[in-house]
């Protein structure tokens, strides 16, 4: 069984690839960049440096006959999608549509697993935890594009029989998440705390978010690759919420010292609580997160100690 990871050199791509390999798949990474240092991704059968959306550029180079495509490719994060929604549409949406068209000619046995966003597609929560049937009223371009791709996947199955599953991820964290980005609060906080820098907190720190360890996300892709039931869209979250204050106190416990905070005014557009209901993933996929939050943060912290 052959699997390609679109975005296989990224943070989530490495976790997904490792999990798929552990489940017995021959795993290839497709990415614009090669994984460094060379040899640091021993789970891979190979890497292809290519545009993920350009299927002809990588299909044969992985040996063809691909059973599972894990689609983690994205040219944007929420902030950059809002800054340039046209680019978001022209790369991620049009790119994924091109991928679907190219898959039509490939024998029909390939299943596409798409990483959607549980934080972006629902919009402001009308009820917490957010189940998959919650209204989808995204508050940013990133979520609109994710949702449009979900619709196109549903249509592609109905009209051309394309197999797919959608995982609506909450906020993944864990080793390989870069601490210098504009998202990934756990990595950013842990890295700053390690180096003695203050943490920026908007409001009183009671805002609650859903965090899921990336190794658990990897296992969710394995479960979705094997699932033969009728559900198509699954929330994948940590199963509980954690406040900003709790993240900081967890880091303080692990580091054995207090961490300085810089308090800024609360941001009115931040919903106070955003937690995914993951019951369907358990009922249908028999998946649930296994990593305790404190253990996951400890592992992320350990990994970050090796980052300059």
- Residue 147 binds to a second copy (criterion: CB under 8 A): yes
Helix ranges, the chain (H): 11-22, 78-83, 85-88, 94-103, 141-160, 185-194, 214-226, 244-255, 279-280, 293-304
- Residue 57 binds to a second copy (criterion: CB under 8 A): no
Distance CA 98, CA 51 (A): 12
Q: Minimum CB separation from a second copy for residue 271, in Å?
A: 13
Distance CA 94, CA 231 (A): 25
From the list 171, 180, 179, 192, the residue with the least C-alpha distance to 262 is: 192
Strands 208-213 and 241-243: antiparallel
Quick one: which of 49, 54, 85, 197 contacts a second copy (CB under 8 A)?
85
Count of positions on this chain that bind a second copy (CB under 8 A): 26
- Residue 231 binds to a second copy (criterion: CB under 8 A): no
Quick one: which of 68, 70, 141, 212 contacts a second copy (CB under 8 A)?
141
Place of tokens 């100690």: 305
Quick one: which of 61, 106, 154, 288 contacts a second copy (CB under 8 A)?
154
Q: Minimum CB separation from a second copy for residue 24, in Å?
A: 35
Specify the stretch interacting with a second copy by CB under 8 A; choose among 86-94, 185-193, 276-284, 291-299.
Answer: 86-94
Which residues 6+ apart lie within 8 Å of 93 measured at CB?
145, 148, 149
- Residue 158 binds to a second copy (criterion: CB under 8 A): yes
Dihedrals phi, psi of 70, to nearest 5 degrees: -95, 110
- Residue 151 binds to a second copy (criterion: CB under 8 A): yes
| Contact set with a second copy (CB under 8 A) | 82, 85-86, 89-90, 93-94, 97-98, 101, 137-141, 143-145, 147-148, 151-152, 154-155, 158-159
């Amino acid at each position: 069984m052959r699997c390609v990871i679109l975005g296989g050199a990224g943070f989530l791509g490495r976790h997904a690839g490792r999990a798929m390999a552990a489940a017995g798949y021959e795993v290839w990474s497709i990415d614009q960049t090669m994984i460094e240092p060379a040899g640091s991704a021993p789970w891979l059968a190979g890497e292809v440096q290519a545009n993920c959306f350009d299927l002809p550029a990588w299909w044969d180079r992985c040996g063809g006959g691909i059973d599972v495509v894990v689609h983690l490719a994205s040219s944007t994060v929420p902030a950059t999608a809002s800054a340039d929604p046209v680019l978001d549409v022209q790369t991620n949406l049009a790119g994924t549509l091109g991928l679907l068209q190219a898959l039509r000619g490939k024998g029909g046995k390939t299943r596409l697993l798409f990483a959607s966003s549980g934080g972006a597609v629902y919009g402001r929560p009308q009820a917490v935890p957010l189940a998959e049937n919650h209204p989808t009223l995204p508050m940013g371009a990133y979520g609109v594009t994710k949702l449009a791709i979900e619709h196109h996947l549903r249509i592609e199955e109905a009209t051309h029989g394309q197999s797919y599953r959608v995982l609506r991820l909450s906020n993944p964290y864990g080793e390989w998440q870069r601490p210098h980005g504009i998202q990934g609060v756990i990595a950013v906080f842990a890295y700053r705390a390690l180096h003695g820098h203050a943490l920026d907190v908007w409001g009183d720190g009671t805002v609650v978010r859903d965090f899921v360890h990336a190794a658990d996300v990897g296992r969710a892709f394995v479960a979705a690759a094997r699932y033969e039931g009728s559900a198509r869209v699954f929330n994948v979250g940590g199963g509980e919420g954690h406040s900003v204050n709790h993240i900081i106190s967890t880091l303080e416990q692990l580091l054995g010292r207090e961490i300085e905070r810089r308090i800024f005014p609360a941001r009115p557009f931040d919903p106070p609580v955003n937690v995914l209901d993951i019951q369907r993933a358990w009922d249908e996929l028999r998946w649930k997160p296994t990593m305790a939050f404190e253990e996951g943060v400890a592992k992320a912290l350990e990994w970050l100690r090796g980052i300059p």
